[in-house]
Structures are given as C-alpha cells and as structure tokens.
C-alpha cells in the first residue's frame, strides 16, 4: 500500500529499510543546482522519483505482500499482487511527495535531508505538489477499478492521514508525532489483506498493531542519531525534548509491546511452527538489543557512543524477517 512510514508513521522518511539517507557532507554539491527547466531529462526523472522516497516505499511493500500470502493461505494471484504493488507504491509515493512539499523549509535546514529535490531546487514546489496529487488520484482510482473498494479506501485514508494528520498537524507540534502519525504506515497491512479478501479481520489488525508498536522505537533511535538536525529544524522529536534515558526506556517498552503483539498473531491467525519459532527468536534478539541500549545509558554512555543506529538497523531486519515468516508459514503449514 501506501503510506505506510513511519513518519509508521512516523515520518515515513524515518522508517527506511537499511541505512538512512547520507548526510550532507562538507564539500558536497550545495543546495540548488540548475533550474528544473534546464535540467537533463534523466536528472529530472531522478528528481521526481526521489520525491517519492523509494527506500521508504520498500518498507511499505515489505509489510503488504506477505500479508497477501497469509490472506490467501498460499500463493496469491500474481495479477492482484502486481496491481497492489504498483498502486501501493504510487500511493506511498504520493504521500511522500506531498510531504516533501510541506517540509521543504525544514528539509533545507537538516543535514540529512538537504539533498532532497525541493531543498536543492531540482523541482519547483508547485510541480512537486501537482505530482503528488496526481499520484494520489491515479493510485486511488487504480485500486478502485482493478482491485476493490476496500483497498482503495485504505489507500486514500493512508495518504490523507499522512499528509493532514501527521505532516501538517502532528510533526511540528508534539513529541508523539511518530506514535500517532505511524498509523499511516500501518495501512499497507490492511490494504494487502483487503486486496485478497475484500474485507478485514482480526489477523491483519494484529499485524497492524505490530507495525504501529514497532514504529516509535525504530524512528526514535534514528532521531537520536540526528538529534541536532531535528533541533535546528525545531521538530520536537522525542530525542530533542527528552533525556536519552527516557528515550531508550520508552523505546524498550514499545519493543516489548511489539514482540508481544507479534506472538499474539500465532493463536489469532492459527500460524504454524515456522512463524512461531521465527517470532520468538527475532523477538529475543530485538529485546536484547534494546536492553543493551538501556544498560549503556544507565552506565552513563551518551551520544554516538550509545550506538542507537545499531538498534535502528536491527529493527529493519526484525520487521523484514518477521513478515517473511508471515508469507512463508502458510506455504508450509
């Protein structure tokens, strides 16, 4: 689906699988560049693709397609998978492009985001907004005409929630921005299920809960690494307004809740031993890393020496492998 983040909400931009976007380095190409009208076609295409935040879309699709296998209890129709993949990517891209339009002022201030197309004037704000709205219309219509109305409604809801609730209402006003904003990033789970069944059930709602609870610790550990960026941009991420000890403690609490919710899927969805074993092992590793962070902060370790990015990268691996088990288990059970 779609917007799923981040910014689970989260700023979907903070929920990237793999390493975060490279920070702006001294000596690198400065913000700006030739006006869009004089740019080579290839460069313009790359700029528009960058507006969609492709690495964020990867994360959303990681949570969408496995759910389709679970809903089908086997291999889902290839045509449905491809259509859901295509329109889901468009939906996520639409929300991300509009988010780039909204955040263009703070993106220009943050080292991690100074390379984005609007910050470097590679695309005009008006064209970026038009591009995002066009993708939103096409993705919603595509879901409605080729998949089903429930999937289309979920996709549209995710776009609107990410843009209006997260980007415009929450992000710059509260440290709980990624907690509630992450709802948008959970929607692909429901969209994938609805694409196969035409409705909803408890099983996708449990997986929705997994992504929802996973998003805050995932995003907060990234924000710990880029705390100064958010502080300069005056975005009240929890690491900006709270102590490292509080951030780590709350992250660990959410990690426990994530693992518990993942195990709840076992009886609710009637999963087999493959999923159960994977969920238990991954959960123990995930919790161990959370406890490492807590032990370090209690010992007085601060800043980069806490190595919060280790937790961030592990959280990506955790979610990817957990949802892989969601897809594989029905094929073996």
Q: Indicate whether 33 pLDDT > 90.
A: no
Q: Indicate whether 18 pLDDT > 90.
A: no
The whole-model pTM stands at 0.87
- Do residues 311 and 217 lie in contact, with contact meaning Cβ atoms separated by under 8 Å? yes
pLDDT at 100: 97
pLDDT band at 38 (very low <50, low <70, confident <90, very high): low
Question: Is residue 117, in this structure, part of any structural domain at all?
Answer: yes
Question: Is residue 34, in this structure, part of any structural domain at all?
Answer: no
pLDDT > 90: percent of the chain: 81
Q: Model confidence over 74-89: pLDDT tens digits?
A: 999 999 999 999 999 9
Question: Is residue 3, in this structure, part of any structural domain at all?
Answer: no
Q: Indicate whether 112 pLDDT > 70.
A: yes
Question: Is residue 273, in this structure, part of any structural domain at all?
Answer: yes
Question: Is residue 36, in this structure, part of any structural domain at all?
Answer: no
Rounded distance, CA 36 to CA 100, Å? Answer: 16
Q: Model confidence over 268-307: pLDDT tens digits?
A: 999 999 999 999 999 999 999 999 999 999 999 888 889 9
Question: Is residue 39, in this structure, part of any structural domain at all?
Answer: no
Q: Model confidence over 295-305: pLDDT tens digits?
A: 999 999 888 88
Expressed as residue numbers, the domain containing 132 is 12-27+44-332
Name which of 76, 54, 73, 56 is nearest 65 in CA terms.
Answer: 76
Residue 196 sits in a domain whose CATH number is: 1.10.600
Q: Model confidence over 211-267: pLDDT tens digits?
A: 999 999 999 999 999 999 999 999 999 999 999 999 999 999 999 999 999 999 999
What is the domain count for the chain?
1
Question: Is residue 6, in this structure, part of any structural domain at all?
Answer: no
**Higher confidence at residue 41 or residue 126?**
126
pLDDT band at 56 (very low <50, low <70, confident <90, very high): confident
Question: Is residue 139, in this structure, part of any structural domain at all?
Answer: yes
- Other CB atoms within a 10 A radius of the CB of residue 206 amount to 19
Alpha-helix residue ranges (DSSP H) falling in 161-201: 177-181, 183-197
pLDDT band at 3 (very low <50, low <70, confident <90, very high): very low
Would you call 307 helix, strand, or coil by DSSP?
A: coil
233, two tokens:
């941009």
């Amino acid at each position: 689906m779609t917007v799923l983040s981040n910014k689970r909400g989260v700023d979907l931009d903070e929920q990237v699988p793999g390493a975060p976007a490279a920070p702006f380095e001294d000596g690198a190409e400065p913000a700006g560049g030739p006006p869009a009208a004089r740019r080579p076609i290839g460069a313009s295409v790359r700029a528009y693709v960058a507006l969609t935040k492709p690495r964020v879309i990867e994360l959303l699709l990681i949570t969408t397609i496995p759910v389709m296998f679970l809903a089908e209890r086997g291999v889902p129709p290839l045509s449905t998978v491809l259509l859901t993949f295509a329109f889901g990517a468009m939906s996520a891209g639409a929300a991300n492009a509009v988010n780039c339009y909204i955040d263009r002022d703070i993106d220009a201030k943050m080292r991690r985001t100074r390379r984005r197309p609007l910050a470097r004037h590679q695309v005009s704000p008006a064209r970026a907004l038009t591009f995002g709205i066009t993708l939103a219309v096409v993705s919603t219509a595509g879901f409605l005409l080729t998949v089903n109305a429930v999937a289309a409604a979920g996709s549209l809801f995710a776009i609107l929630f990410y843009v209006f609730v997260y980007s415009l209402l929450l992000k710059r006003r509260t440290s709980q921005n990624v907690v509630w904003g992450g709802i948008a990033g959970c929607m692909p789970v429901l969209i994938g299920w609805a694409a196969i069944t035409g409705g909803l059930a408890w099983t996708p709602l449990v997986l929705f809960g997994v992504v929802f609870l996973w998003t805050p610790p995932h995003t907060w550990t990234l924000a710990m690494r880029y705390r100064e960026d958010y502080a300069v941009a005056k975005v009240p991420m929890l690491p900006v307004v709270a102590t490292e000890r509080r951030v780590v403690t709350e992250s660990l609490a959410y990690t426990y809740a994530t693992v518990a919710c993942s195990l709840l899927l076992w009886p609710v969805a009637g999963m087999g031993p493959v999923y159960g074993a994977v969920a238990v092992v991954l959960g123990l590793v995930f919790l161990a890393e959370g406890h490492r962070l807590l032990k370090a902060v209690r010992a007085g370790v601060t800043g980069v020496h806490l190595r919060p990015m280790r937790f961030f990268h592990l959280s990506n691996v955790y979610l990817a492998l957990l949802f892989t088990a969601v897809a594989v288990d029905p094929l073996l059970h």
